[in-house]
Structure 1
Amino acid sequence: MSLLGPGLSGGDTATDPLLAEGYRRCAELTRRHGTTYFWGARLLPADQRRDVYTVYALCRLADDIVDEPDKLDPAVPGHGEADPAVRLRMFERHFWDAVLAGGSDEPVMAAVVDSLRRRGTDPECFDRFFRAMELDLTRETWASWEELRDGYMEGSAAVIGEMMLPVLEPHTPLAQEPARSLGLAFQLTNFLRDIDEDLDRGRVYLPQDDLARHGADPHERTVTPAWRAMMAEQIERNRALYRDAARGVGMLPTPSARCVATALRMYSLILDRVEAADYDVFTERLRVPRRTKVAIVADVLTRGPSHRLVRT
């Protein structure tokens, strides 16, 4: 059963200033922090685009409570509360109260709930998401890839793909597994690129058994032969997830396919940047240049979303 009610009409942003402001702020959050999502969403019709932004904004605000507890946003309650675990619970309660009430007086949450109600998104997705966010406050390492994937990334990454599916309007329910793979692929890319800053937060999102088998230690923040071998193995795992995700592009209508193909190609190029840097993810945060992103958008628009989709 869905508390969100598929097909409910929701508010009209043309006449509701609260919703208009909420959707504007969701778009701004995505533009500022989720540039790949923002670029991909630009290829969608306006109604789908704004719904991508709301999913991203909700997840970003929760993630910031965990990763950057000193950052304050008017959409997140509890500004006087120092404990991020308490603030995360307050934010989750704020979300569920808005879902049950069918709206909120806070613009961002009003837009989020309006979007989710129109799309009929399964609320169970958000329970899994918030449980994963809680783990970031208590877990620092993960024993194996299977434990990391099933114990944490299930709720922090795979479920994001499920949240996006009602927005992307796939032709078939078979698109769910590729969407989950794409969520996993995106987050694993983040883990490999952001090792240095995650260390600063006291976390290691690399399987401990893989590190031990190669004799690699991220805390040394040094590129060694062992480090290169371990990272090469993680990148191949990551590319396999992108290849699995690519199956779903053909299951989407053309605008959605363009959106996903653009995001997939942009994000997977970060792995090429890691390799080009000789697996040095400690010196600087590796990014895909803007000119390359522009070229990808142009290529997707002219040659189609399936052209040069994944590296084989």
Structure 2
Amino acid sequence: MSVDRELDAADVRDPLLRDAYRRCRELNAEHGRTYYLATRLLQREQRPAVHALYGFARWADDVVDEVHDGRTARERAAGLSEVDRALTAGLDAGRSEHPVVAAVVDTARRYDIDRAHFTDFLRSMRMDLTVADYATYDDLAEYVHGSAAVIGLQVLPVLGTVVPRAEAEPAAAALGVAFQLTNFLRDVGEDLDRGRVYLPLDELAAFGVDRELLEWARRRDRTDPRVRKALAHQVARARSVYRRAEPGIAMLAPRSRPCVATAYRLYGRILDLIEDADYDVLSRRVVVSTGRRLAIALPALAKAAMARSA
């Protein structure tokens, strides 16, 4: 099996650890199709660590986000506290027997990932339990740092760099933010259903948009000229963050560039689709087609094979 070859290449031998890495890989494949496709372009020995980092983030996010599973806000908060305790205990001990946490603890140890990145991530997850919207972009940026920028910083040691790591960190953080801003735009309707708005309220108001108008458009499966203009403004910001992140691809180890360049192009394509849909993200969820994903990924696969041979 492919997963077994990856774990062998990464020298993961402990049966419990192998099961934890498998679970994280499943979470990646199930919830992050675009991201998972990009990880296939990594070297086999790199993939388990990236799956562990993504899988842990996805699992913790699901603990907070599954608002229709019958659990109260207090129960979701208790679940996130349990995630925090399991991670803290694992990082303290250097190992864990938890079926998900074991993999991310092992990855953090192997790649000497700064513990503060996990602390910041969980802080943002806690914000999702109590914060329903953000008054300004600066307020949103605090959340996005923990929910997205630190993911880029966590993954960077796994990818490797051809420059001092500190030099590549701003671009890695920016790419995580760009992906998150793209998700916010794609998922406006779904986030509204969860009671949240991840678009700065003051910037929406500048175009005559508020939560009530967004909810009205969501209920009616239609959009509004004011909403279109407000979303166009947010798309322009996301593109500016992508531009800040792009130079970081050349700072990565050559074997990691095809993966990140593919993720960069696939997520950027989502913004194209939002524009093509005339910013109608409230009645539907734009998705990059399988054909388009393959058209972007296949040339990168050839580059990844060349890097692997080199």
Query: Is the TM-score greater than 0.5?
Result: yes
SS in 1 for 2:132: coil
Which residue identity is paired with 1:167? Answer: V
- 2:192 alignment counterpart: 199
* Cα contact 2:28–2:35 (8 A) shared by 1: yes
Question: Using the alignment, how far apart are the partners of 1:254 and 1:159 within structure 2?
Answer: 22
Among all aligned residue pairs of Structure 1 and Structure 2, give the percentage whose two residues are the same amino acid: 45
Trace 1:25-40 onto structure 2 (pairs within 5 A): 25-40=23-38
Q: Give the whole-Å Cα distance in 2 for the aligned partners of 1:218 and 1:106.
A: 40
8 Å Cα contact 2:67-2:194 kept in structure 1:
no
Matched, 1:167 2:158: yes
TM-score normalised according to structure 1 size: 0.87
Match of 2:6 in 1: none
Whether 1:155 aligns to 2:146 is yes
| Aligned residue identity for 1:64 | D
CA RMSD of aligned residues (A): 2.0
Paired residue secondary structure (1:247): helix
Counterpart CA distance in 2 for 1:183 and 1:58 is 16
Question: Residues 52-63 of structure 1: matches in 2 within 5 Å?
Answer: 52-63=50-61
In structure 2, give the amino acid aligned to 1:27: R
> Does 1:269 find its partner at 2:265?
no
CA distance in 1, matches of 2:225, 2:200: 18
How far does residue 81 in structure 1 lie from its aligned partner after superposition? 10
Describe the superposition over 1:143-166 as per-residue Cα deviations: whole angstroms up to 9, x where unpaired: 1112211x2111111111111111
Task: Measure, in 1, the Cα distance between the counterparts of 2:161 and 2:61.
Answer: 27
State the shift of 1:80 in Å.
Answer: 11
1:108 paired with 2:130, answer no
Which residue of structure 2 aligns with residue 223 of structure 1?
A: 223
Match of 2:75 among 71, 83, 87: 83
8 Å CA contact 1:81–1:87 kept in 2: the answer is no
Supply the distance in 2 between the matched residues of 1:301 and 1:215 (Cα, whole angstroms).
Answer: 45
Q: 1:308 maps to what in 2?
A: none
Distance, in Å, in 2 between the alignment partners of 1:236 and 1:85 is 35
Mark the runs of 5 or more structure 1 residues left unpaired by the alignment: 1-10, 73-78, 305-312
CA contact (8 A) 1:12 1:19 kept: no
Where does 1:229-308 land on structure 2 (aligned, <5 Å)?
Answer: 229-301=229-301
Task: Say how many residue pairs are matched.
Answer: 286
Question: TM-score, normalised on structure 2?
Answer: 0.87
Distance 1:81 1:102, change over 3 A: farther
Residue 64 (structure 2) pairs with residue 66 (structure 1): yes
1:178 matched to 2:171? The reply is yes
Residue segments in structure 2 that go unaligned for 5+ positions in a row: 1-9, 305-310
Separation in 1, partners of 2:207, 2:285 = 24
Deviation, 1:22, is 1.2
| Contact 2:258/2:303 (<8 A) preserved | no
> Out of 143, 151, 155, which is 2:135 matched to?
143
Change (3 A) 1:230 1:82: closer
8 Å CA contact retained: 1:249, 1:260: yes
The offset of 1:106, in angstroms, is 2.4
Mapped to 2, the partners of 1:83 and 1:45 lie a distance apart of 39
Instruction: Provide the residue aligned with 1:99 in structure 2.
Output: 91
What CA distance in whole angstroms lies between the structure 2 residues aligned with 1:84 and 1:155?
19
Per-residue deviation, residues 39-94 of structure 1 (Å, max 9, x unmatched): 1111111121111100001111110011115669xxxxxx9996111110111101
Q: Is the 8 A contact 2:63 2:80 kept in 1?
A: yes
The answer to which of 165-174 and 122-131 deviates more is: 165-174
Which region of structure 1 is more displaced relative to structure 2, 63-72 or 87-96? 63-72
